[in-house]
Amino acid sequence: MTKKLKPIFLCILLASYAGSHLHYVAAMEAKHQRKQGAAPTAASLISDMQKAVAFTAMSAKDRLSTKSKEARPFWAALKTASQSLDIMEASLKSDKTATVKAQDDLGRSMIQLCASWGVLRGSHPKLQVGRGVIALSEAHDMYTYHFGPTVARYKLGGKPAKEELEAVEICLDELAKLGDDVEALSKKAKANSYQARLVNDLLSLIDELLEVKVTNLKSYCKFMYQWDRLSHAVGGYSEIIEVWYPAYYTEWETVTADYTSLVDEFTEVSVSYYEAWEYTELSVAKYDDYYERTSMLVSVTEEQEAEFESYTEEYSEESAIEESEEELAEINEDIEIDEDDDSTAFEEVEDSADDEDGDGESDEEDTDDDNDGVEDDQDSDDDGDGLEDSEDEDEEEDTDEGEEDEDEDDDGIDDDEDGGDE
């Protein structure tokens, strides 16, 4: 190399190093920012949910086939979630009716997504889909517990109105009938199957709701939240049963058909709860490890988000007709059902404090905690949060501490907002 070229080459080399170093620093700052994070708002949580949908679709593409009949409930739920979030984003400050309806559709799709993935993940053990589903659930729960319809009613204050109490009475009448019908339906389910598991979930949710005695505002809010959760489970599970167990669906449909008219019982009245509440200007004061649990979302670029939003929303159920032997085996496998366990199939996926990658294997037994294909003893980023373990101050904390329950009394309102069980 000539003496004249050396200085030029050195300048290029230094410039290249400086550029790459600045890019590295910016990336690390972004990751650190994601770890700490600004106080979440309704708008930022919607954005996070959209990123989580993109991450989930990106992780599932070409592995969990969109042509698979067995995967139809999963992809249909992800599509509905994406479309609902589009509506929520567009109508957040301008159309409360559209926002509340979209929230309802999103809640139903979340249960369908989590329950279907909880079964299908057994045939796809090395996908990172579970991480996306968990992040989506985290953001959805945060939104629900701080900006959902139950919170809006609680913020409005006052005793339940006569019309509200009448709505509860209508629901209770239907609930008693539904409980009897679902009990009969459970006897027709195949023993030790996901049919039996899903119908048992409904019985558990019905029993839980029947225990709520509406005497004041808090108990009304609790009834309202748990009714929505039950109705969402009926809707989401119906989609799963129809695809996976068509013969059993003929029995299932006769029970749930009359109930569909009451599914949206609280949706219309919920719109009025938002009229005087400027929630779009508020932020969540206490969000604990939210940014830890959703840390992978920083890896989703704007281009990827746009690409996989289109990919998800272009999904066609009509073209999903191919059978997957592996997925079919999971759907039809014998399982143990603990009737005393009140945890539902969808909650097992959502509440994955000891299963960071959502693959169904506890972190203690899982040799690849973030499902990135690198064994933990060789992985320099064990919790998959984008930070090297040597730089990650909370990596050890994440493995030792369980997740705190934001809503101990199951009324759909963060305990910091309503005082929990007080």
CA atoms within 13 A on the CB side of 67: 5
Tell me which of 136 and 276 has the higher pLDDT: 136
Please report the sign of the dihedral spanned by the C-alpha atoms of residue 14, residue 16, residue 21, residue 23.
positive
pLDDT at site 13: 31
Mean pLDDT of 200-222: 94
Helix axes 325-332, 96-120, angle to 10 degrees: 90
pLDDT at site 66: 97
Q: Under a CB-based contact definition with an 8 Å cutoff, are residues 369 and 383 in contact?
A: yes
In a domain, 71, yes or no: yes
Has residue 262 got a pLDDT over 70?
A: no
In a domain, 13, yes or no: no
Has residue 36 got a pLDDT over 50?
A: yes
Q: Under a CB-based contact definition with an 8 Å cutoff, are residues 262 and 231 in contact?
A: yes
In a domain, 406, yes or no: no
398 falls in which pLDDT band (50, 70, 90)?
A: very low
Domain count, the chain: 1
pLDDT, tens digit, for every residue of 52-61?
999 999 999 9
Helix intervals (H) in 211-274: 217-244, 246-256, 267-273
pLDDT at site 383: 52
Has residue 211 got a pLDDT over 60?
A: yes
Q: Under a CB-based contact definition with an 8 Å cutoff, are residues 188 and 196 in contact?
A: no
Q: Which amino acid is at 365?
A: E
> Is the overall model pTM greater than 0.75, yes or no?
yes
pLDDT at site 10: 32
pLDDT, tens digit, for every residue of 327-356?
999 999 999 887 777 789 989 887 655 455
In this structure, what DSSP letter does residue 217 have? H
Q: Under a CB-based contact definition with an 8 Å cutoff, are residues 74 and 113 in contact?
A: yes
pLDDT at site 261: 58
Q: Under a CB-based contact definition with an 8 Å cutoff, are residues 250 and 8 in contact?
A: no
Tell me which of 296 and 264 has the higher pLDDT: 296
Has residue 302 got a pLDDT over 60?
A: yes
Mean pLDDT of 170-199: 92
In a domain, 222, yes or no: yes
Has residue 32 got a pLDDT over 80?
A: no
Least confident among 18-22, 162-166, 313-317, 413-417: 18-22
Percent of the chain with pLDDT over 90: 59
**Tally of CB atoms within 10 A around 162:** 8
Has residue 393 got a pLDDT over 80?
A: no
pLDDT at site 6: 38
pLDDT at site 103: 95
pLDDT at site 31: 42
Return phi, psi of residue 327, to 5°: -70, -40
In a domain, 12, yes or no: no
Find, among 353, 373, 372, the residue nearest to 364 by Cα.
Answer: 353
396 falls in which pLDDT band (50, 70, 90)?
A: very low
In a domain, 211, yes or no: yes
Please report the sign of the dihedral spanned by the C-alpha atoms of residue 173, residue 114, residue 134, residue 344.
positive
- Show the domain range for 327: 39-358
In a domain, 162, yes or no: yes
Mean pLDDT of 416-422: 65
Mean pLDDT of 137-142: 96
In a domain, 393, yes or no: no
Mean pLDDT of 1-21: 38
Tell me which of 92 and 34 has the higher pLDDT: 92
Percent of the chain with pLDDT over 70: 75
